[in-house]
Amino acid sequence: MSRIQANLLLTLAAVIWGSAFVVQQIGTGNLGTISFTGARFLLGAFVVLPFAIRQFRRVEREERSMERRDWYGLVATGLVLCTAAVLQQHGILRTTVANAGFLTALYVPMVPIIGLIFLRRRVHWFVWPASIGCFIGTYIMSGTQGLDIHIGDLWVISSTLFWAVHVLLVGIMASRTRAPLVVATSQFLVCGIVGLIVGFFVEHPVLADFLGAFYGICYVGIFSVGMAFTLQVVGQRFTPAADAAIILSSETVFAALAGFVFLDERLSAVRLLGAALILFNIVAVEVLPMLRKTRPLS
């Protein structure tokens, strides 16, 4: 696969993730947040499952066997994913699609900070000004009348902490197990099962609720959870990390465009400035360390 083809796959993944914000807002029907999250991730797990089984058999045969603590780690990853997705979904229903897309991306500068605190991983110096820039961008996006943030914005922002932890856990587990598709499917299964069980006791859904959200569950489960993740994994094998970071960060832009096209959501010039500030700092956090590593010796 060529680099251009890989970049196109990553772009398609970003388009799917961005457009999914619209579906997550209007496609849930009367189904509760937790139950909808469980249903879509369980469906996504079945989409990736055949590829994961083949990868699991190959790794078991050629590289290493899964240990008990590997499975514990995968369960923990799925629980964190479930928490992040539920908080995000709850927020999406109470704010605009554009806000949800840009605010979710705040997890990017949080990843190296959490890695530094808990894993003693060194971070690039730009992480600190980028974090400040993201918070300033969030303030600007909240509007001009002080901190007039939608309640949904706060839910989405709270999800970013768990998204950041989830990114770190996925990296650790994928490196340890050498089977990224197995990691993906396992976490999707845990998230789906836990979401449906908790949703059953908390939200008391009935069959009609699932039928009312059927198309939303199918779109997000098949495309956003199952297909987009697979496109990301395949694409990042054939393109530089800096390219991938820039392309995948465009998910926020596609979310705003989807909100504009399908929901007639509009951002004022001031709020667009806040969104641009967030996107700039997100891309810079990913790209600047790569430039330092690839700088030629003089």
Give me the average pLDDT of each 10-residue run along the chain (298 residues). 78 86 87 95 94 92 88 94 93 82 74 76 73 73 54 86 85 83 92 96 94 93 87 71 61 79 76 78 70 55
Q: Pull the structure tokens for residue 131.
A: 């974090």
Alpha carbon distances (Å) from 172 to 105, 139, 224, 250: 21, 33, 23, 25
pLDDT at position 85 is 92
Give the pLDDT confidence score for residue 240 in this predicted structure: 59
The Cα–Cα gap between 19 and 182 comes to 26
Within 10 A of 128 (CB to CB), how many other CB atoms are there?
13
- Helix boundaries (H) for 180-263: 180-203, 207-212, 214-218, 228-235, 241-249, 251-263
Give the pLDDT of residue 279. Answer: 76
- What is the DSSP code string of 29-40? TT--HHHHHHHH
Tokens of 37: 């999250």
Query: Can you give the pLDDT at residue 145?
Result: 45
Q: Residue 298: its pLDDT value, please? A: 46
How confident is the model at residue 146, as a pLDDT?
45
Give the per-residue pLDDT at 249: 67
pLDDT (0 to 100) of residue 77: 92
Token pair, residue 1, equals 């696969």
**Counting Cβ atoms within 10 Å, is residue 268 exposed (0-12), middle (13-18) or buried (19+)?**
exposed
Residues in the chain: 298
Query: Token digits for 171?
Result: 């990296």
